Structure 1
């Protein structure tokens, strides 16, 4: 699995220049500026374009008055999260390349609909035969499939009978699926129908965009130790880590 952030919400050049003409102290806090603008627009007599220039000193220039870490902007966002006024965090979006995940994970992931957009690699248009450009389908093997013995099943080797392991069963199933797909394609069956024999373990790639509110909700449901399957819990951590890299102030809200 690989997760790479492609893009995230930032100030436009015109608005950044507008701020620079009036105030330069807060230009390193772009994500928070956007969040603050949305939050304070709900409660302030100032116009949205004026929030940072007229209220920025108070929120970014003063320590948090709730006794917690950070600035008054951090305190305000904590208050908003606590009060569940989370629509104000929907203005921050993040776009990710999510690569080499299973179709099983994709099925779980796309159950999260509100605040998410997906563009997934198609098994209809991408040919997955052994002789195609793809070289056949790759697969994601669950970590729980290992060398445990399958009772009552053995196979012959040059050195005598050998017990089947869970790994042997999985690997054989992948080979059989590829062989079946190749045979169907050679019989003239279109890829969109031959894909019916491909397993949940087959890999796929996708581009995913989600807003901050949706990502916080996703993480709370899919994080490790919360009953989620291993790979989607791994994805939840990877998404969180990518967001924190570009917006460090969000870390406390994930944790």
Structure 2
């Protein structure tokens, strides 16, 4: 899995702090930006987080290029609707040398891995035979499984990213998207450490858990 932060709002933390400050200031945004000192920015953002006043966070956006993930992951990812996505098309891209993602529970089990690879090899051969017969890639792709490797570009604003981390860094999240969330957070903390200082699962950020009987019990152990 490869995750790259390819572009983001210039000075995202200053932008968020200035947008929030504008709501309570008689002066314009340019004057506010000039007066914004680093220490004040950090203090102001922390106050916004403490008050759960997150609408100003929507003014900072971040774009990621993600590779080496499965279609199973992207089916989950696109459920986060306050985002923009551009994914490699199986309709127009003929998958001549495509790869498959192997879950760790299978890669660590030799017998299971053998079954998994045999089935995927058969699928791949069938797909390529259909394409060679002149079947359009958009129809041959019906054979392709969730394990198919894919690439996607994702853009989210800071508020949506915080929500994304609340649900996808939970220990109940599926392993692959949880790994993705961890890598995305690592990249974000390099460029906006204050905005994402406290990013994490709901049990850590808000002290609540909505998993019910399926909860990992971490929050209960704390209380």
Give the TM-score range, shorter chain.
0.7 to 0.9
Secondary structure, in 3 states, of the residue corresponding to 2:105? coil
Q: Is the 8 A contact 1:224 1:230 kept in 2?
A: no
Matches within 5 A, 1:78-89: 78-89=46-57
Aligned to 1:119: 86
For 1:209 and 1:4, how far apart are their aligned partners in 2?
Answer: 12
8 Å CA contact 2:107–2:113 kept in 1: the answer is yes
Pairs aligned (count):
200
User: Hey, which of these two has a bigger chunk of strand by percent?
Assistant: 1
| Correspondence for 1:9 | 9
Q: Which residue of 1 aligns with 2:136?
A: 190
* 1:112-150 C-alpha deviation (Å, 9 max, x unpaired): 011x10000000110013xxxxx2x2010001114547x
TM-score by length of 2: 0.85
Q: Is the aligned partner of 1:128 residue 2:95?
A: yes
Quote how far apart the aligned CAs of 1:179 are.
Answer: 1.2
Task: Output the CA distance in 2 between the equivalents of 1:142 and 1:82.
Answer: 38
Output one character per residue of 1:169-192: Cα deviation in whole Å (capped at 9) or x when no partner: 110111011011022112221100
Residues 220-253 of structure 1: CA distance to partner in whole angstroms, max 9, x if unpaired? 100152x111110000011111111112223423
The 3-state SS of whatever aligns with 2:100 is coil
Per-residue CA distance 1:179-206 (angstroms, 9 max, x = gap): 1102211222110000000010000001
Structure 1 or 2, whichever has the larger Rg, is 1
| 1:45 and 2:26 are equivalent in the alignment | yes
Task: Note the C-alpha offset of 1:100.
Answer: 1.1
Of residues 117, 132, 138 in structure 2, which corresponds to 1:171?
117
Partner of 1:110: 78
Unaligned runs of 5+ in 1: 11-29, 61-70, 130-134, 150-164
Distance 1:49 1:106 in 2: 40
Q: Which residue of 2 aligns with 1:180?
A: 126
1:140 aligns to what SS in structure 2?
coil
TM-score (norm 1): 0.74
Aligned residue for 1:22?
none
User: Does the Cα contact within 8 Å between 1:224 and 1:234 map onto a contact in 2?
Assistant: no
**CA distance in structure 2 between the aligned counterparts of 1:171 and 1:126, rounded to whole angstroms:** 23
Equivalents in 1 of 2:173, 2:56: separation in Å?
28
For residue 253 of structure 1, the aligned residue among 173, 198, 216 is 198
Match of 1:143 among 104, 111, 114: 104
Q: Does 1:240 align with 2:185?
A: yes
2:67 partner SS: strand
Q: Which runs of 4+ in 1 moved over 6 A?
A: none
Structure 2 equivalent of residue 26 of structure 1: none
Q: Is the 8 A contact 1:9 1:92 kept in 2?
A: yes
Match of 1:220 in 2: 166
